[in-house]
């Protein structure tokens, strides 16, 4: 991967965060590439059982605001290191402890708690390390690093299962090692700022549109994260290598797409980008719903995989929502608590959507799950249209070296 000259002149803090993001991304990719096949082969879950597993997986997203408030004495980057250490424990538990469905659920909860604690920190720390007017550019660069990490992690899983005799516990061990290294790198950063506990627990009326955007995007994202891989694994009977290959391809595309997306948000504003995302997701969900009925099985699988890649690209548009929050914040100290609160709020609905979609899958068929996704995406488009247009921004032209912020 080409490293721009501006990166080599980056501050120590940014270099450490980039390195942590890279190693963390590799670790998360290895876990996500194998988890669905692991639970399918080990426990032979039904669609409803798989959706119920989203309760312990997504419950940490609801609890994250309360856990963050309880850990208020930890500065932001120390909290990030702690979250990654929880991921270490969770990956080892998932890989070695589960003997029953209930124990599996508990292990998934631990891993997911670490993952969800880190989610808002990834955006807030990234924005801290950006220059004024170049937040999208910086977040796009960091997301490109994570996409490159996804390539490395998922490709290594592909090689491991195809040629090296990997079993599932190998990937969970490697996930734990990677998250441990990332936690060490986060700990080496300057501590960052701590927030008072009430900051996390207070909702601000002036940010209600931002909260609504996260509810809708999180609910639709839940359908993608849970049920699209499950369709590929259980309906099309694909092995672990298929998802690993798709994640590798998604990472390759993302290396180019993420920085372009960041610059587009800086140039055109959050509303237009979020409108394009919502409209595209309506069509993607329609494709998921009808592909198997319209095309032969082999062609339908290719269509679903293609839609998966496009859907995976659009996950990065979440940076536009974070940037919108930063733009409308009446106080800079509101940003990290608001990002954390949004994770909690959207996970209340994500859990409900996951359970509802599981019932729909079992009673009406998997196609109806994606019609629900279409409805959510259409509603998201209407809500996005209420965003007030940001003032015109003038980011630097491509090719102009931009110094990284010093700390």
Counting residues of the chain whose pLDDT is more than 90, the rounded percentage is 24
Is residue 406 included in any domain, yes or no?
no
Q: Can you give the three-state secondary structure of the chain, one letter per residue?
A: CCCCHHHHCCCHHHHHHHHHHHHHHHHHHHHHHHHHHHHHHHHCCCHHHHHHCHHHHHHHHHHHHHHHHHCCCCCHHHHHHHHHHHHHHHHHHHHHCCCCHHHHHHHHHHHHHHHHHHHHHHHHHHHHCCCCCCHHHHHHHHHHHHHHHHHHHHHHHHHHHHHCCCCHHHHHHHHHHHHHHHHHHHHHCCCCCCCCHHHHHCCCHHHHHHHHHHHHHHHHHHHHHHHHHHHHHHHCCCCHHHHHHHHHHHHHHHHHHHHHHHHHHHHHCHHHHHHHHHHHHHHHHHHHHHHHHHCCHHHHHHHHHHHHHHHHHHHHHHHHHHHHHHHHCCCHHHHHHHHHHHHHHHHHHHHHHHHHHHHHHHHHCHHHHHHHHHHHHHHHHHHHCCCCCCCCCCCCCCCCCCCCCCC
Q: Quick check: 133 pLDDT over 70? A: no
Band of residue 9 on the pLDDT scale cut at 50, 70, 90: low
Is residue 379 included in any domain, yes or no?
yes
State the pLDDT at residue 401.
Answer: 34
Report the pLDDT averaged over residues 315-331. 85
State the CATH number of the domain containing residue 58.
Answer: 1.20.1250.20
Q: Quick check: 148 pLDDT over 60? A: yes
Report the alpha-carbon distance of residue 356 to residue 372 in Å, rounded: 10
Is the pLDDT higher at 145 or at 400? 145
Is residue 396 included in any domain, yes or no?
no
Report the pLDDT averaged over residues 394-398. 42
140, 351 Cβ separation under 8 angstroms: no
Is residue 314 included in any domain, yes or no?
yes
Is residue 361 included in any domain, yes or no?
yes
State the pLDDT at residue 397.
Answer: 41
Torsion of CA 18, 23, 29, 34, to 10 degrees: -170
Report the alpha-carbon distance of residue 113 to residue 107 in Å, rounded: 10
- Which region among 116-120, 129-133, 189-193 has the lowest average model confidence (pLDDT)? 129-133
The pair of structure tokens assigned to 145 is 């690093």
Q: Quick check: 404 pLDDT over 50? A: no
State the pLDDT at residue 194.
Answer: 62
Residue with tokens 């538990």: 93
The pair of structure tokens assigned to 170 is 């190998």
State the pLDDT at residue 199.
Answer: 57
Report the pLDDT averaged over residues 237-266. 81
Q: Which of 36-45, 47-56, 94-103 has the highest mean pLDDT?
A: 94-103
State the pLDDT at residue 195.
Answer: 60
Q: Quick check: 400 pLDDT over 50? A: no
Is the pLDDT higher at 165 or at 199? 165
Structural domain range at position 134: 5-384
- Which region among 188-197, 207-216, 258-267 has the lowest average model confidence (pLDDT)? 188-197
Considering its fold, how many domains does the chain have in total?
1
Cα of 269 vs its chain's centroid, Å: 21
Q: Quick check: 281 pLDDT over 70? A: yes
Is residue 391 included in any domain, yes or no?
no
Is residue 60 included in any domain, yes or no?
yes
C-beta atoms surrounding 9 within 10 Å: 14
Report the pLDDT averaged over residues 47-54. 74
Residue 173's nearest CA partner among 300, 103, 88 is 88
Is the pLDDT higher at 392 or at 319? 319
- Which region among 133-142, 167-176, 256-265 has the lowest average model confidence (pLDDT)? 133-142
Q: Quick check: 59 pLDDT over 80? A: yes
Report the pLDDT averaged over residues 88-99. 87
pLDDT in tens, 172-206: 999 999 999 999 999 998 876 666 655 556 777 88
State the pLDDT at residue 200.
Answer: 59
Q: What mean pLDDT is reported for the chain?
A: 82
Is residue 401 included in any domain, yes or no?
no
């Amino acid at each position: 991967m080409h490293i721009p000259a501006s990166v080599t002149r980056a501050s120590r803090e940014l270099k450490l965060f980039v390195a942590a993001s890279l190693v963390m991304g590799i670790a998360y990719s290895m876990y996500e590439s194998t988890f669905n096949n692991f639970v399918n082969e080990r426990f032979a879950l039904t669609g409803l059982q798989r959706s119920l597993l989203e309760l312990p997986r997504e419950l940490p997203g609801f609890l994250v605001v309360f856990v963050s408030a309880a850990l208020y004495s930890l500065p932001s980057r120390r909290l990030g290191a702690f979250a990654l250490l929880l991921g270490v424990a969770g990956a080892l538990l998932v890989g070695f402890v589960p003997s029953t469905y209930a124990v599996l659920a508990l292990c998934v909860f631990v891993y997911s708690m670490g993952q969800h604690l880190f989610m808002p920190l990834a955006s807030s720390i990234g924005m801290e390390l950006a220059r004024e007017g170049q937040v999208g550019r910086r977040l796009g660069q960091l997301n490109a690093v994570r996409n490159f990490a996804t390539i490395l992690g998922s490709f290594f899983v592909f090689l491991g299962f195809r040629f090296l005799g990997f079993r599932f516990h190998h990937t969970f061990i490697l996930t734990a090692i990677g998250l441990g290294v990332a936690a060490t790198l986060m700990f080496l950063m300057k501590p960052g700022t701590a927030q008072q506990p009430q900051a996390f627990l207070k909702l601000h009326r002036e940010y209600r549109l931002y909260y609504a955007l996260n509810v809708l995007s999180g609910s639709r994202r839940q359908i993608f994260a849970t049920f699209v891989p499950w369709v590929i694994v259980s309906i099309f009977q694909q092995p672990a290598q298929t998802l690993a290959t798709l994640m590798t391809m998604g990472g390759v595309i993302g290396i180019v797409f993420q920085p372009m997306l960041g610059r587009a948000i800086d140039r055109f504003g959050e509303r237009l980008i979020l409108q394009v995302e919502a409209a595209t997701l309506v069509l993607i969900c329609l494709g998921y719903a009808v592909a198997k009925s319209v095309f032969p099985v082999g062609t339908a699988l290719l269509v679903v995989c293609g839609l998966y890649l496009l859907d995976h690209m659009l996950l990065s548009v979440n940076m536009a929502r974070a940037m919108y929050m930063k733009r409308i914040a009446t106080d800079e100290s509101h940003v990290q608590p608001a990002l954390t609160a949004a994770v909690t709020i959207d996970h209340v609905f994500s859990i409900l959507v996951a359970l509802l979609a599981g019932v729909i899958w079992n009673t009406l068929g998997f196609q109806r799950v994606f019609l629900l996704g279409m409805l959510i995406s259409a509603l998201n488009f209407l809500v996005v249209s209420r965003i007030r247009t940001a003032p015109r921004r003038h980011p630097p032209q491509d090719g102009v070296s931009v110094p990284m912020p010093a700390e």
